[in-house]
């Protein structure tokens, strides 16, 4: 179990203390490692539980020229097959992790490449060339990913508690509360907060 968090601000620069504070909230999800990347208004970070590629799987991971970055929570079951195909198409890998496969797959196929992934995952890709933040979740929703879209930007995280120290007022969503008591769970994209949502499964 790992955890990811981050944001993209429209008119302000990303600050490390804010990003670190979000990731500290999910320290329990990843006691082995942490990593951060800041670029203009974007900040992405993660807490890592090392499972695959213990020595070189540090995140965030970038492509060769540092223009695309990823933070990832989960496991890609077919990453070795994807890796072999990407190497055959000229991509160079620096690690043995399934995380790096996501970067090169995005470079090669864009968002369409998401359909080729088999596994349980939630990840965020920052494309500095397009100034675009891409959030992705597996089609069965095995890995959680929440977001808060505000007038000044968007925040995302593996757990809602990452938003606790941010300037996001909590407003109870009474309809979501009703659904929870009726169904015993909250269907995507509902959360108990009107300002926050769960990224729908299969979204990207």
Residues in the chain: 204
Two tokens at 129? 């060339």
Can you say how many angstroms the Cα of residue 95 is from the centroid of all Cα atoms in its chain? 19
Please give the Cα distance from 130 to 126 (Å, whole number). 9
CB-based burial label for 108 (10 Å; 0-12, 13-18, 19+): middle
Side by side, the strands of the sheet bearing 68-76 are 61-62, 68-76, 119-127, 132-137
C-beta contacts of 16-23 below 8 A and 24+ residues apart: 16/43, 18/43, 18/166, 19/43, 19/44, 19/45, 20/45, 21/165, 22/155, 22/157, 22/162, 22/163, 22/165, 22/166, 23/47, 23/162
- Assess whether 23 carries a catalytic annotation: no
Eight-class DSSP state of 56? T
* Residues carrying an active site annotation: 2
């Amino acid at each position: 179990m790992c955890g990811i968090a981050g944001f993209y601000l429209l008119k302000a620069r990303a600050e490390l203390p804010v990003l670190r504070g979000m990731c500290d909230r999910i320290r329990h999800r990843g006691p082995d490692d942490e990593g951060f990347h800041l670029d203009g208004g974007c900040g992405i970070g993660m807490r890592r539980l090392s499972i695959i590629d213990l020595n070189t799987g540090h995140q965030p991971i970038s492509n060769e020229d540092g223009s695309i970055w990823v933070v990832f929570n989960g496991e890609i079951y077919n990453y070795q097959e994807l890796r072999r195909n990407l190497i055959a198409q000229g991509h160079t890998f620096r690690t043995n992790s399934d995380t790096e496969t996501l970067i090169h797959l995005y470079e090669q196929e864009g968002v369409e490449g998401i359909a080729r992934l088999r596994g349980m995952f939630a990840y965020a890709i920052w494309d500095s060339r397009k100034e675009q933040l891409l959030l992705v979740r597996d089609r069965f929703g095995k890995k959680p990913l929440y977001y808060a879209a505000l007038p000044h930007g968007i925040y995302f995280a593996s757990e809602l508690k990452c938003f606790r120290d941010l300037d996001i007022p909590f407003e109870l969503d009474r309809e979501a509360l009703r659904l929870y008591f009726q169904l015993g769970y909250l269907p995507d994209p509902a959360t108990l907060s009107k300002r926050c949502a769960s990224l729908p499964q299969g979204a990207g």
